[in-house]
């Protein structure tokens, strides 16, 4: 756990170069290798990044190339991430901006052919038009990201460059910019590619979301400072990026409810929290209940509290839950959360926010389900629609994401890239279906992927994934059987063979296939078989609607 003093150094608005160097500790032996291809100095950033990386026990071995304006990637060897650390000045002095961008595109594509690892292009543009062109280049190359150094410095109102530095530091980047860039690289740009994503923030109330203690200072006595207000807005912004937020507080529920109803100026409202745990129970138990309810692991949760004792208790009982000590100065708490490695992501999709919304709607759905004995009535009361995407070329990013993220309902645990799925779609013997789901409570977006291949006269289902946000609605049969019935290659099939793999978390998927299959491959446990006739005879529950697109 970071102490207040360290937090102040690491997460002040503009950290001190010297103070960061004082926090430097030696690298551990097992380090992740990152290639840095550069034409200006990078070495100064390495010790500045280290204290930030150490907060998540990340040890990185930066393999820094020699200075090379041609970016030839000579003596390439594999690394987990490729960084292009590029000062465009030399290159722009020799050609026009258009030619430079074309050259950049050619070099990035060349590196893409050499390496399958993510590429970060860390550079700056001299004009807004160039930013647009660079963004277009980066967006056109798979798994490549633009770290805009100029934009970052604008955010902090500091100069990116100090021309003096070129003569002794081999880089024009200013001292202040170096510190800000090091923090951004370590906590956001690199960590987003290395760490499993954080999925929820569980935050304390007293002396965290406001100054004071509700039980002692009473509703009118607790203070929402400007810094606390900014923290509320930050949490709301994070929630919009698909992170669940939960409130954990040792208080009386009625007092907290009254606080939020009276103090209308609090930007965060009680209904914004996906889960609310107000009790005198240990906070580790509250976190366990939150994790179970949201259906995530406790190691995907950050717990924020001003009381070191509470953090210690959580750390003792849930050692993998992330903990943050809330600072009396809420602007520091805000930056500690903002820069917590694993929270920030390179891309935020509409689907991320849908996940949070969907969860809230699920509570209402469960209420419908518990009230309704008849499934058909349940489906029609919610106006559930399944949308089958027969040729989902436009949604390959989401489908690949599903294949790589889904754990509980993932029959074969195969991880498909967009290119894999694109190739399946272009083959006459294979089909890829995406299935979308919406009802009157929310639009869940695409929640399922099926990959199938015609082999002799049988349909081989290579993979079935259903997002956890669609589970618990008793829709698995409808999703899978309806999709299969609509497959072009299913028509003449006699058997449907499901490829399966037993994993740590995919029990719901395995239980589903075991319930339905009438035959298990005699030679291996890795396939289950259902008679095609059984699927042909499957009839959709009355309240469900199917839309084909």
Q: Which stretch binds another protein (CB under 8 A): 162-170, 341-349, 367-375, 503-511?
A: 162-170
Report DSSP state, residue 504.
Answer: S
Which range in 161-169, 220-228, 297-305, 383-391 contacts another protein by CB under 8 A?
161-169
Q: Which is nearer to another protein, 43 or 397 (CB)?
A: 43
Distance of CA 145 to the CA centre of its chain: 15
Q: Per CB under 8 A, does 428 bind another protein?
A: no
* Nearest-approach distance from CB 402 to another protein, in angstroms: 46
Determine if 169 is a binding residue for another protein (CB under 8 A): yes
Q: What is the DSSP string of 491-519?
A: TT-SEEEEE----SS-HHHHHHHHHH-SE
- 1 lies in the site for another protein, by CB under 8 A: no
Instruction: Identify the bridge partners of residue 432 per DSSP, sorted by sequence position.
Output: 451
For strand 443-455 and strand 458-466, is the pairing parallel, antiparallel, or unpaired? antiparallel
Of 280, 334, 287, 284, the residue nearest 312 (C-alpha): 284
Residue 494 in tokens: 């006699």
> From the CB of 45, what's the least distance to another protein, in Å?
11
Closer CB to another protein, residue 169 or residue 276?
169
264: contact with another protein by CB under 8 A? no
Of residues 418, 181, 225, 443, the one with CA closest to residue 334: 225
Q: Is 47 in the site for another protein (CB under 8 A)?
A: yes
Answer yes or no whether residue 178 interacts with another protein by CB under 8 A.
yes
The smaller minimum CB distance to another protein, of residues 5 and 22, is found at 22
Q: Does 522 bind another protein (CB under 8 A)?
A: no
Residue 17 interacts with another protein (CB under 8 A): yes or no: yes
Residues, the chain: 549
Q: Does 168 bind another protein (CB under 8 A)?
A: yes
63 binds another protein (CB under 8 A): no
164 binds another protein (CB under 8 A): yes
In the DSSP assignment, the letter for residue 165 is G
Of 48 and 287, CB closest to another protein: 48
For another protein, which residue of 35, 44, 274, 448 counts as binding (CB under 8 A)? Answer: 44
State which of residues 93, 96, 167, 539 lies at the interface with another protein (CB under 8 A). Answer: 167
Spatial separation of the C-alpha atoms in residues 398 and 316, rounded to whole Å:
37
Alpha-carbon distances of 188 from 21, 119, 151, 245, 339, rounded to whole Å: 20, 14, 15, 20, 7
**Token code pair at residue 184:** 């951004």
Minimum CB distance to another protein smaller for 176 or for 481: 176
Q: Do the Cβ atoms of 121 and 138 come closer than 8 Å?
A: yes
Cβ atoms of residues 112 and 145 within 8 Å: no
**175 scored as a contact of another protein (CB under 8 A):** yes
CB-based burial, 204-214: b 16+ in 10 Å, e otherwise: bbbbbbbbebb
Residue 19 binds to another protein (criterion: CB under 8 A) = yes
- What is the closest distance, in whole angstroms, from the C-beta atom of residue 168 to another protein in the complex? 5
Size of the site for another protein (CB under 8 A): 16
- Three-class DSSP category at 102: helix
Q: Which stretch, 10-18, 377-385, 419-427, 533-541, contacts another protein (CB under 8 A)?
A: 10-18
CB of 360 to another protein, least distance (A): 47
Contact (CB, 8 A) for 262 and 221 = no
The answer to whether the beta carbons of residues 300 and 200 sit under 8 Å apart is yes
Binding footprint of another protein on the chain (CB under 8 A): 16-19, 21-22, 41, 43-44, 47, 164, 167-169, 175, 178
């Amino acid at each position: 756990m970071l102490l207040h003093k360290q937090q102040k150094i690491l997460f002040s608005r503009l950290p001190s170069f010297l103070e960061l160097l004082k926090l430097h500790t030696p690298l551990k032996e097992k380090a992740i290798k990152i290639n840095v291809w550069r034409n200006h100095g990078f070495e100064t950033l390495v010790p500045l990044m280290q204290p930030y990386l150490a907060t998540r026990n990340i040890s990185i071995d930066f393999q820094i190339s020699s200075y090379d304006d041609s970016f030839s990637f000579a003596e390439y060897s594999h690394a987990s991430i490729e960084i292009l650390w590029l000062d465009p000045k030399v290159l722009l002095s020799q050609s026009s901006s258009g030619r430079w961008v074309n050259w950049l595109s050619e070099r990035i594509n060349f590196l893409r052919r050499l390496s399958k690892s993510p590429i970060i292009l860390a550079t700056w543009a001299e004009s807004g038009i160039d930013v647009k062109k660079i963004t277009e280049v980066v967006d056109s190359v798979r798994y490549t990201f633009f770290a805009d150094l100029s934009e970052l410095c604008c955010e902090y109102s500091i100069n990116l460059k100090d021309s003096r530095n070129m003569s002794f530091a081999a880089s024009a980047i200013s001292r202040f910019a170096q510190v800000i860039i090091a923090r951004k690289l370590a906590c956001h740009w690199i960590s987003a590619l290395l760490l499993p994503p954080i999925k929820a923030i569980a935050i304390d109330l007293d002396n965290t979301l406001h100054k004071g203690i509700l039980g002692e200072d009473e509703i009118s006595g607790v203070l929402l400072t400007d810094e606390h207000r900014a923290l509320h807005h930050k949490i709301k912004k994070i929630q919009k990026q698909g992170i669940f937020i939960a409130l954990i507080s040792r208080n009386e529920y009625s007092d907290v409810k009254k606080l939020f109803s009276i103090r209308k100026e609090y930007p965060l409202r009680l209904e914004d929290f996906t889960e609310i745990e107000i009790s005198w129970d240990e906070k580790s138990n509250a976190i366990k209940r939150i994790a179970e309810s949201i259906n995530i692991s406790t190691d995907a949760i950050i717990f924020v509290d001003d009381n070191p004792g509470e953090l210690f208790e959580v750390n003792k009982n849930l050692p993998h839950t992330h903990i943050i000590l809330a600072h009396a100065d809420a602007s520091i708490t805000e930056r500690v959360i903002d820069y917590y490695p694993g929270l920030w992501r390179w891309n935020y999709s509409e689907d991320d926010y849908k996940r949070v919304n969907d969860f809230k709607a699920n509570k209402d759905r469960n209420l419908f389900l518990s009230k309704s004995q008849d499934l058909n009535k349940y489906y029609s009361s919610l106006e559930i629609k399944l949308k089958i995407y027969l040729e989902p070329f436009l949604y390959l990013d989401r489908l690949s994401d599903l294949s790589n993220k889904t754990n509980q309902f993932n029959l074969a645990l195969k991880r498909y890239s967009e290119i894999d799925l694109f190739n399946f779609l272009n083959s006459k013997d294979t089909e890829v279906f995406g299935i979308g789901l919406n009802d009157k409570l929310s639009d869940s977006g695409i929640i399922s992927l099926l990959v199938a291949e015609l082999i002799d006269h049988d349909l081989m289902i290579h993979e079935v994934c259903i997002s956890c946000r669609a589970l618990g609605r008793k829709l698995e049969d409808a999703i899978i059987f309806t999709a299969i019935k609509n497959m072009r290659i299913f028509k003449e099939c006699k058997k449907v063979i499901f490829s399966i793999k037993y994993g740590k978390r995919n029990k719901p998927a395995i239980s589903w296939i075991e319930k339905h299959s009438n035959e298990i491959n005699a030679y291996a446990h890795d396939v289950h078989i259902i008679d095609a006739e059984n699927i042909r005879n499957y009839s959709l529950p009355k309240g469900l609607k199917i839309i084909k697109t």
